[in-house]
């Protein structure tokens, strides 16, 4: 490869077959988002550090992964379908030499799961090579995409992230800083960006602060940006601060420099980061998420008490809330379900007999902890309702005398258009049924959700600082409702 020019690898023949959950029983959780990572560090293997940073962010997206590295002259990159550890090995990392890098792990929100939509997007421009990683979803992507096509810009994917990349590459402005400022004026919706140029790394967060982005320091002169603080600790970096809503941060070997701040009149942080998405050891607004999720369980126990013998969680994401429920209620906490953490990524699809077993592929019940017991089953959310019912049946088959379902978030009645694959209106069980109707559908003895007020109370933050769109249908920005795969070539 010519080291003086843009160069990269994207293996279009290699895909990972059968690496999603059984399509007959899709996971009853909101789809994840994406994870972005960036690093500037002299005398460090930045590609390897980015690999481990993405590994820590794997929970945010499992469809594809990619890394782009700059050596001050050119950008080299590699991306492919699959988990971080499936995409990269020593052979793939070895050519990625330099002192600045960005990485991305994807869950599709706009554009389907295929290699053309994998990130980072890398292009050549009048100002030199450009690589972009994006977490979020532009709500005006359709109109921005039309403008690019009318200008004669060729697009190779169906992702709004490529729209962002081309807006920056060919947009107004004589410098990258000017182009980023123009982009922020034009863009609507959710975006956390890591932008890699020949000689700088930029971190950009939308003015509403919809999704998290933080800054860390690595040693004396190394700097890191990541979707979550958990990725900093994985590579030995120290958390410095959150990147502010509306902030453009430029990072070079000289350190970070604030280029601009363009905040909106109010912030609108995604509540599902607090409920489910972010790892429990990550920090948001100065608090560790595990503690806030325990607080959600305490609020739930106060709002929806229950006469029962044991509290169990739907593992693993609901465990902190179940602990909080047990602490507040005085009912003992125990494990009732053991999760097979790998079945969702199997290469082999189940046959018809296994398909009918449904949830048994993912969970096994601990009969000794359940037999003859009145059980409180705590979950963090119910989206479609297609796994909660089988779990209730599994508990009864294990001998539970009663099953009382408690959910540490409000009913999800509306889709998300801001970076979360939340399902459509017809798929959302709380949009179609009343709470009593959902209880009957699940076969539970009782069902209760945490109120929106209780959820926000558990965060300790001002209610006006959150996006509540999936609960209330009220979004912080104007929404252009489009299908996830609207830009696919049919």
pLDDT for 187 equals 94
Is the Cβ–Cβ distance between 159 and 114 less than 8 Å?
A: no
Q: For the residues 133-143, what does the mean pLDDT come to?
A: 93
Question: How many C-beta atoms surround the C-beta of residue 188 within 10 A?
Answer: 19
80 vs 7, higher pLDDT: 80
- Residue 14 binned pLDDT confidence (cut-offs 50, 70, 90): very low
- Cα–Cα distance list, 344 to 49, 113, 114, 205, 380 (Å): 27, 16, 18, 31, 19
For residue 310, pLDDT over 80 is answered with yes
Domains of the chain, residue spans? 9-277, 288-460
Plot region of 452 (φ>0 → left; ψ -120 to 50 → alpha; else → beta): alpha
470 is in an annotated binding site: yes
- Residue 32 binned pLDDT confidence (cut-offs 50, 70, 90): low
Catalytic entry in 34, 192, 214, 306: 34
Pick the CATH number of 288-460 from 3.40.50.2300, 1.20.1070.10, 3.40.50.2020, 3.40.50.1820: 3.40.50.2020
- Strand-strand pairing, 283-284 and 287-288: antiparallel
pLDDT for 15 equals 28
For residue 45, pLDDT over 80 is answered with yes
Is the Cβ–Cβ distance between 85 and 118 less than 8 Å?
A: no
- Strand-strand pairing, 121-125 and 75-81: unpaired
Q: For the residues 168-183, what does the mean pLDDT come to?
A: 96
281 vs 344, higher pLDDT: 281
pLDDT for 108 equals 56
pLDDT for 158 equals 84
467 is in an annotated binding site: yes
- Strand-strand pairing, 374-379 and 402-407: parallel
Q: 451: Cβ–Cβ under 8 A, 6 or more apart, which residues?
A: 303, 410
What's the pLDDT tens digit per position in 388-447?
999 999 999 999 999 999 999 999 999 988 877 778 899 999 999 999 999 999 999 999
306 is in an annotated binding site: no
Asked if the domains at 9-277 and 288-460 fall in one CATH topology, the answer is no
> Is 214 one of the annotated active-site residues of the chain?
no
pLDDT for 23 equals 33
Plot region of 339 (φ>0 → left; ψ -120 to 50 → alpha; else → beta): beta
> What is the sign of the dihedral through the CA atoms of 443, 445, 450 and 451?
positive
For residue 86, pLDDT over 90 is answered with yes
For residue 111, pLDDT over 60 is answered with no
pLDDT for 149 equals 95
Output Rg (C-alpha) for the chain, integer angstroms: 23
pLDDT for 400 equals 98
Distance separating alpha carbons of residues 117 and 101, to the nearest angstrom: 19
What's the pLDDT tens digit per position in 339-364?
887 665 444 555 665 555 666 678 89
Tokens for 344?
């969702």
Backbone angles phi, psi at 28, to 5 degrees: -90, 55
For residue 271, pLDDT over 90 is answered with yes
Sheet holding 310-313, edge to edge: 310-313, 374-379, 402-407, 446-449
Q: For the residues 117-125, what does the mean pLDDT come to?
A: 95
380 is in an annotated binding site: yes
Backbone angles phi, psi at 131, to 5 degrees: -130, 140
- Residue 106 binned pLDDT confidence (cut-offs 50, 70, 90): confident
**Range with the poorest average pLDDT among 16-30, 165-179, 299-313:** 16-30
For residue 20, pLDDT over 80 is answered with no
pLDDT for 313 equals 98
For residue 12, pLDDT over 50 is answered with no
- Strand-strand pairing, 128-138 and 121-125: antiparallel
- Cα–Cα distance list, 199 to 195, 284, 345, 465 (Å): 11, 30, 38, 35
pLDDT for 7 equals 53
214 is in an annotated binding site: no
**What percent of the chain is modeled with pLDDT above 70?**
86
- Residue 30 binned pLDDT confidence (cut-offs 50, 70, 90): low
Task: Kindly report the three-state secondary structure assignment for every residue of the chain.
Answer: CCCCCCCCEECCCCCCCCCCCCCCCCCCCCCCCEEEEEEECCCCCHHHHHHHHHHHCHHHCCCEEEEEEECCCCEEEEEEECCHHHHCCHHHHCCCCCCEEEEEEECCCCCCCCHHHCCCEEEEECCEEEEEEEEEEECCHHHHHHHHHHCCCCCCCCCHHHHHHHHHHHCCCCCHHHHHHHHHHHCCEEEEEEEECCCCEEEEECCCCCCCCEEEEECCCEEEEECCCHHHHHCCCEEEEECCCCEEEEEECCEEEEEEECCCCCCCEEHHHHHHHCCCCCEECCEEHHHHHHHHHHHHHHHCCCCCCEEEECCCCCHHHHHHHHHHHCCCECCCEEECCCHHHCCCCCCHHHHHHHHHHCEEECHHHHCCCEEEEEECCCCCCCCHHHHHHHHHHCCCCEEEEEECCCCCCCCCCCCCCCCCHHHCHHHHCCHHHHHHHHCCCEEEECCHHHHHHHHCCCHHHEECHHHHCCCCCCCCCCCCCCCCCC
For residue 1, pLDDT over 50 is answered with no
Architecture of domain 9-277: 4-Layer Sandwich (3.60)
């Amino acid at each position: 490869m010519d080291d003086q020019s843009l160069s990269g690898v994207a293996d279009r023949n290699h895909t990972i077959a059968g690496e999603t959950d059984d399509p007959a029983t899709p996971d009853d959780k909101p789809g994840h988002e994406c994870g972005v990572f960036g690093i500037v560090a002299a005398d460090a293997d930045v590609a390897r550090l980015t690999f481990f940073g993405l590994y820590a962010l794997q929970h945010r997206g499992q469809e594809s992964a990619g890394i782009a590295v700059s050596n001050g002259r050119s950008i080299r990159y590699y991306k492919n379908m699959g988990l971080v550890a499936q995409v990269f090995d020593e052979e793939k990392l070895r050519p990625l030499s330099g002192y600045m890098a960005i990485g991305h792990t994807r869950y599709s929100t706009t554009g389907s799961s295929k290699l053309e939509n994998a990130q980072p997007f890398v292009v050549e421009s009048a100002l030199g090579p450009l690589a972009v990683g994006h977490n979020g979803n532009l709500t005006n992507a359709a109109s921005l995409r039309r403008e690019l096509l009318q200008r004669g810009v060729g697009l190779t994917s169906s992702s709004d992230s490529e729209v962002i990349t081309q807006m920056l590459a060919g947009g107004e402005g004589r410098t990258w800083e000017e182009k980023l400022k123009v982009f922020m004026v034009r863009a609507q919706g959710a975006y956390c960006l890591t932008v890699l140029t020949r000689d700088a790394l930029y971190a950009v967060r939308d003015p509403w602060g919809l999704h998290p982005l933080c800054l860390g320091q690595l040693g004396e002169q190394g700097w890191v940006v990541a979707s979550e603080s958990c990725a900093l600790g994985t590579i030995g970096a120290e958390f410095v601060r959150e990147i502010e809503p509306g902030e453009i941060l430029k990072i070079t070997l000289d350190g970070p420099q604030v280029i601009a701040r363009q905040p909106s009149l109010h912030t609108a942080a995604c509540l599902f980061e607090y409920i489910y998405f972010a790892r429990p050891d990550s920090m948001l607004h100065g608090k560790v998420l595990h503690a806030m999720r325990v607080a959600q369980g305490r609020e739930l126990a106060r709002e929806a008490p229950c006469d029962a013998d044991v509290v169990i969680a739907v593992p693993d994401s609901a465990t902190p809330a179940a602990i909080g429920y047990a602490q507040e209620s005085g009912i003992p906490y125990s494990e009732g379900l053991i999760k097979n953490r790998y079945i969702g990524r199997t290469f082999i699809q189940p046959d018809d007999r296994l398909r009918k077993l449904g949830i048994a592929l993912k969970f096994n019940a601990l009969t000794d902890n359940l037999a003859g017991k009145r059980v409180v089953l705590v979950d963090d959310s119910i989206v479609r309702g297609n796994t909660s019912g089988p779990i209730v049946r599994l508990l009864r088959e294990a001998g539970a005398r009663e099953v009382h379902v408690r959910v540490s978030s409000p009913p999800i009645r509306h889709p998300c258009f801001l970076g979360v694959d939340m399902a459509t209106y017809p798929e959302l069980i709380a949009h179609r049924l009343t709470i009593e109707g959902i209880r009957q559908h699940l076969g539970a003895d009782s069902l209760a959700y945490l109120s929106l007020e209780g959820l926000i109370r558990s965060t300790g933050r001002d209610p006006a600082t959150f996006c509540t769109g999936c609960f209330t249908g009220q979004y912080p920005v104007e929404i252009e409702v489009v299908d996830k795969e609207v830009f696919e070539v049919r």
